[in-house]
Amino acid sequence: MPKTRWAIVVAGLILACTMGWALLRYLQMAGEFDLPAGPLLVLDAQRYEAMARRHFFRHHPGEKPLNWRLAEKAVEFHHTQPMGKFILQQNDCSDFVDCITDDALGYTARFKRGSTEHVATHIRSLWRLFYWDQRAPLMPGDIISVRHSPWYDPSPDSCWHVGIIGSDGQVYDFVKLKSWRTARYGRNSLLWFVRNSRGPEQVIVWRLHPRYRYRLSPLPGVAGDERRQSR
């Protein structure tokens, strides 16, 4: 490559690094993140999580991250049983969890809106999805989807089952088996909930993205959320 072209490439790289570093320093001065002293052009998930957490506790002292709204709403639904039977599309467990997430995050549960549509779990940018290795700690408000329901013996024809971790660390779900006269609002330990879904890619976790969990950004489409988060 001619020397002139090399000089242009090097100058371009220097310019890009300078602009990137200037942007990061601007964010630091604006109070968005507490950045380290050295250059950092790529933020991995763990560093982003740590920065978002520090930002939250600095600007929202004495408050809990947003995932606690999900966890507390799960316990509330378990006790109040507001919907009676969950019969939407014959998928009672996901209807139960979707109503919790909508009501907790301000989108309002479908039965309160007089609708058959859910909102929050369809906004994929709100969530981080990952396969759980059954060792990493989980959070209140995490949605847990298991390959084989704990309520019956696993089989190749088993359908996935879903619950949500409440504020007391227990997993809450809604179940209607053919052998039962009435459906049940479940409350069980995490260990019991995943008992039939052991092995790789058997348990999926839906976790509220740290951007929203730590209130760096308002929830999309929720009226008044920006005002609440700036207090």
* Domain spans of the chain, in order of start: 3-59, 67-217
Tokens standing for 77?
């639904």
The pLDDT assigned to 33 comes to 40
The class level of CATH for 67-217 reads alpha beta
Give 31's contacts (C-beta < 8 A, 6+ positions apart). 55, 59
Q: How far apart are CA 202 and CA 219, in angstroms?
A: 30
Q: pLDDT tens per residue, the chain (231 residues)?
A: 555 665 554 455 544 444 444 444 434 433 344 433 334 444 577 888 888 888 888 888 989 999 999 999 999 999 998 876 655 555 688 999 999 999 999 999 998 999 889 999 999 999 999 999 988 999 999 999 999 999 888 888 888 999 999 999 999 999 877 777 777 889 999 999 999 998 889 999 999 999 999 998 999 988 766 434 433
C-beta separation of 225 from 64 below 8 A: no
C-beta separation of 33 from 27 below 8 A: yes
C-beta separation of 137 from 67 below 8 A: no
Cross-strand pairs, 188: 171
Angle at 119 between CA 148 and CA 71, to 5 degrees: 60
The pLDDT assigned to 199 comes to 87
C-beta separation of 190 from 102 below 8 A: no
Q: How far apart are CA 101 and CA 85, in angstroms?
A: 18
139 C-beta neighbours (distance < 10 Å), count: 16
The pLDDT assigned to 183 comes to 77
Q: How far apart are CA 214 and CA 191, in angstroms?
A: 27
